[in-house]
Structure 1
């Protein structure tokens, strides 16, 4: 029986370890980066290709959508598709995700047509860069593009208001007279974005001057104006109209001219796979934030109560997922440090009560760090304030519970130490009139009494002074 009883915990630990290893291997498989696109010059696509891949991208451009686009474009290259159509409707997105998509377009052997559709859609901010990078830029009626000024990162000053070139020169003189680090950082970011989009415009022979205005002055254009100004190549009512206009069109591909044959092309709709859905969930800032909290508190609970297993395994998995998501998101390490500090202070309040000093300080650090965690002003990539408020209130209630338990324990009678002997029943070990020896709670103590004591008599401890107990007859029956 003893051997069987001891084997059960070890079997449970081995099972938990195997489960954790399997999950870890699955994570490594999921998080492995997609195969990089080829960097060498690519040959022109064959005009005999008869498939058109169509992807619909609707929403902010983040790591999940960027990964999906790059992988799908690589598959289209392997399938030697005639054309890859990206139906785009986006308010913008992260700079890193946008650049990954543009690198995929520039390295693609298959021409990419970015089509802003349906009517009412937009290609704002990051979408404008993607439109300029594409081999073919098209828009549906009642759509718009532009407002490509980089969003201020890191909590500095807001974006500058659109200004005329004369106002811009005055602003530059004022900035030179009173340099400001935040303004200098913003100007560097804007100048970098201008150089980037002008390079894309020159590569595709599109209106580079308007592209610069879209970055510097955040201007926008409707589809009709974009076509008139040479920002896009064509305007199409729907996908069929787009393919009809592109059929037989010649594209410059390196040193060659290729004519697209799309009359008999078969449409292949690119569907979102489980990896994209998984990454979209994990890289949601609010989900990543909650995973981080579960991971931290799970490990704290496991370390404070070794052998439980479940909190440690769950905490480690959630922490790995959170760290993976955070390394793809614009994270402020100051905010992350404040969150870790807050979690440590709350844990200290539970382990070593400070009557609210550690706990309240931890909640304050926790809330401030949560607000600062996402280092971007893009609404789609910030932690929802209701989530932060709920976690902050929950942490405050938890600290209040710890403080209440600490106060209750402080005001109650002692439950450990020598002071707990007062009021206990003692047994006299011999006869004595002044002092002698008694047994209390299994321990032998020196005792003194104002009355004669007989061997085996039950006594009550009334006080303690160092190693001497004051006793008096208990009035109960004597023990042998």
Structure 2
């Protein structure tokens, strides 16, 4: 009886470990603040709900440096072992994905996948030489430190950063860049069974064979955030918001442009808090809006508007901080700037046309008008002008029905003479 109890005592931890599930966090697409939030919430769930392993199924072309580093910090601090598994076949862990793979406790790939091309780039724009040297050196040191922490190939990691090297799964395994090549998640979990993993809270022994798998699904908030935190989408929302509100202010009562513009502008401001915004660029865009408004209400025949367009272009270029690896696509900036330019050109053209039109109100409009005498009079009488009866004065006698020309006005009396 004692022997049976001892056997159950030693077997019980293994049973408990075997009961611990595995959390799968699927990540596909660019690494963004939404991705960071999703992975962070997944790892927190894994820690709080007793998962023995978190597997990030990764397929990404890269993404934001700030989001990537946030994910890596969460992985490094995780008390739950984290495996990054590049899958399915045809997937990749490029750019930011390579760093995340290097940071994981377990790095695995499916056959037919690749990783690398980890050279820093700016989304939507071309990097400057001096800044790129600094960013590249920083990135190389970062991936080397991750490689040394996990005991992986640091030299190849640096080549991936400096020379944009990229390799397939089998080559990555040969070069000791990754730990496993597995055709499926179940095969990977079988390979990991019984392995001891060192985490931030100590060593963990995995019991993953036949473990229950729970897949985490992103909520609507994460999906929405993944869309609007794209720097180009956020910029487009800002532009739509600005012109929607501007149109509503210029034409009160429409309603729809104002409501749409307000929603877009609020979403853009919400997205900007997750992006590396340069406030000097934002200030230039605000200045451009002020100049556009001044052109609309105090026409300068294009001079204020032209200054606004220049300020708008510069603000758009500098809106995103280069250190964050983000820049608005020049095609989008060009489109928005051309639209602004055509708008200002239209305002200036209307102002010039208005200036050339004849005056239709006041004393100046009356002078030169034609009037018709409604009675005979010597020096003063009444005439019909523009459908109205006016008091009139004349230096010459006037007969009823005679056509007269208005030469001036004294209060409510017009001065007339023969045509």
Q: TM-score range by the shorter chain?
A: 0.7 to 0.9
Q: Give the alignment partner of residue 462 of structure 1, picking from 403, 406, 412.
A: 406
Structure-2 separation of matches of 1:256 and 1:343: 56
Structure-1 separation of matches of 2:232 and 2:121: 20
- 1:427/1:440 contact within 8 Å kept: no
Who is 2:226 aligned against?
280
Structure-2 separation of matches of 1:383 and 1:416: 50
Who is 2:142 aligned against?
196
- 1:291/1:319 contact within 8 Å kept: yes
How far 1:108 moved relative to its partner? Answer: 1.8
Q: Give the alignment partner of residue 53 of structure 1, picking from 17, 23, 27.
A: 23
- 1:47/1:258 contact within 8 Å kept: no
Matched, 1:157 2:128: yes
How far 1:213 moved relative to its partner? Answer: 3.0
Who is 1:123 aligned against?
93
Query: 1:86-165 residue pairs with structure 2 within 5 A?
Result: 86-151=56-121, 156-158=127-129
Aligned residues: 401
Query: 1:36-435 residue pairs with structure 2 within 5 A?
Result: 47-151=17-121, 156-158=127-129, 183=130, 185-253=131-199, 256-304=202-250, 311-333=257-279, 335-363=281-309, 365-367=311-313, 369-370=315-316, 373-374=319-320, 382-383=328-329, 385=331, 387-388=332-333, 390-422=335-367, 423=369, 433=378
Structure-2 separation of matches of 1:197 and 1:369: 33
How far 1:98 moved relative to its partner? Answer: 0.2
Q: 1:116 to 1:410 in 2, by over 3 A?
A: same
- 2:31/2:63 contact within 8 Å kept: yes
- 1:376/1:382 contact within 8 Å kept: no
How far 1:202 moved relative to its partner? Answer: 2.5
Deviation string for 1:205-241 (max 9, x for gaps)? 2222332333233323332222222221111112121
Q: 1:354 to 1:446 in 2, by over 3 A?
A: farther
Q: 1:351 to 1:426 in 2, by over 3 A?
A: farther
User: Please, what is the CA RMSD of the aligned residues?
Assistant: 3.9
TM-score, with length taken from structure 2:
0.79
- 1:338/1:366 contact within 8 Å kept: yes
Structure-1 separation of matches of 2:265 and 2:120: 31
- 1:332/1:375 contact within 8 Å kept: yes
Q: 1:425 to 1:292 in 2, by over 3 A?
A: farther
Who is 1:12 aligned against?
none
Deviation string for 1:91-110 (max 9, x for gaps)? 21111010111122122222
Secondary structure, in 3 states, of the residue corresponding to 1:47? helix
Deviation string for 1:405-429 (max 9, x for gaps)? 334433332133321223276999x
Secondary structure, in 3 states, of the residue corresponding to 2:416? strand
Secondary structure, in 3 states, of the residue corresponding to 1:232? coil
- 1:286/1:384 contact within 8 Å kept: no
Structure 2 gap ranges (5+): 1-15
Who is 1:20 aligned against?
none
